[in-house]
């Protein structure tokens, strides 16, 4: 018997042995996804006296130090501390639950008069309207089209990548979507003069801050994963920082027959 999860007055089953990992890995070298001019991930072997932290180099164990920039290397989740001057605001304090019902939706960005590619609210709403169950859960996973494999290794810095319009972020707030996941480097334009309109709109910062809400960027959802409802397990590290490398995992939800 498969485990079940309740949502919107229905009960759904899911298979814990069939996870769909939508994170991008953190690996050393220049061939990994990168944005905002972050240095590539680096693994350093620890050396202390005669000890070398590498079995391949004759050590007894592997013992390494990692250099990583959460906002620029791989999949990461961030809280409103990203735009707050308060260093005590950390993702580890803001994210206290890790299981959510999520809706996956695929949308193509639209070219604007200035040449920018932007995901528009109207197109998101149109895509959602094609799904048989139109309920709005706690989390929304956005896959942009076309869904090229190059997203796994793309060097985004200086390319003015696709972003979302602030009205879309406002709509997420209106429907109380607490967790927004997308396969882009940021919800905002790469260079916008520091306005960060979509970030501010989503977190409603500073007037009515949504303290438990999160944004997860640089995910990758494979083509074979269909739009629809999923159970999301949003895994992070316990860093006391505004952001953390993360591992969002989806599980397909299947409605059980009504009693």
Domain contains 39: no
Residue 226 lies in a domain: yes
Q: Which pLDDT belongs to residue 168?
A: 98
CA distance 234 to 253: 16
User: Cα dihedral angle (7, 224, 177, 196), rounded to 10 degrees?
Assistant: 170
Write the pLDDT tens digit of every residue in 179-188: 999 999 999 9
Structure confidence by residue, pLDDT tens digits, 211-230: 999 999 999 999 999 999 99
| Torsion sign, CA atoms 85, 87, 91, 95 | negative
**pTM of the full predicted structure?**
0.97
Q: How confident is the model at residue 136 (pLDDT cuts 50, 70, 90)?
A: confident
What mean pLDDT do residues 230-253 have? 98
Indicate whether 133 pLDDT > 90. Answer: no
54, β-bridge pairs: none
Q: Which of 84, 108, 113 is nearest to 196 (CA)?
A: 84
Is 246 inside a domain boundary? yes
CATH code of the domain covering residue 174? 3.50.30.50
Count how many domains the chain has. Answer: 1
Write out the residue range of the structural domain in which residue 190 sits. Answer: 4-25+71-254
In angstroms, the Cα distances linking 210 to 15, 46, 119, 207 are 32, 41, 23, 9
pLDDT band for 254, please (50, 70, 90 cuts): very high
Is 37 within a domain? no
Q: What confidence tens digit (pLDDT) does each residue in 46-78 have?
A: 999 999 999 999 999 999 999 999 999 999 999
The β-bridge relationship of strands 243-252 and 76-78 is antiparallel
Residues contacting residue 89 through CB under 8 Å, at least 6 positions apart: 79, 80, 81, 242
């Amino acid at each position: 018997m498969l485990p079940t999860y309740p949502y919107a007055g229905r009960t759904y089953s899911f298979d814990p042995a069939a996870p769909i990992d939508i994170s991008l890995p953190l690996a050393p070298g220049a061939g990994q996804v990168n944005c905002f001019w972050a240095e590539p991930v680096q693994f350093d072997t620890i050396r202390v006296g005669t000890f070398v932290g590498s079995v391949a180099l004759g050590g007894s164990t592997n013992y390494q130090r990692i250099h990583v920039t959460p906002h620029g290397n791989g999949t990461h989740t961030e809280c409103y501390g990203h735009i707050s001057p308060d260093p005590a605001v950390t993702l580890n304090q803001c994210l206290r639950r890790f299981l959510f019902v999520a809706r996956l939706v695929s949308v193509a960005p639209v070219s604007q008069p200035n040449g920018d590619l932007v995901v528009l609210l109207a197109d998101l709403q149109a895509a959602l309207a094609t799904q048989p169950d139109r309920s709005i859960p706690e989390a929304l996973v956005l896959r942009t089209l076309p869904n090229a494999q190059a997203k796994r290794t793309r060097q985004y810095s200086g390319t003015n990548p696709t972003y979302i319009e602030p009205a879309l972020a406002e709509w997420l707030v209106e429907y109380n979507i607490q967790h927004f996941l997308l396969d882009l480097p940021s919800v905002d334009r790469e260079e916008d003069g520091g306005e960060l309109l979509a970030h501010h709109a989503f977190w409603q910062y500073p007037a009515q801050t949504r303290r438990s809400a999160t944004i997860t960027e640089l995910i990758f959802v494979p083509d074979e994963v269909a739009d629809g409802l999923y159970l999301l397990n949003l895994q992070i590290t316990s860093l006391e920082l505004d952001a953390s490398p993360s591992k969002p995992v989806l599980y397909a939800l299947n409605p059980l027959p009504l009693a």
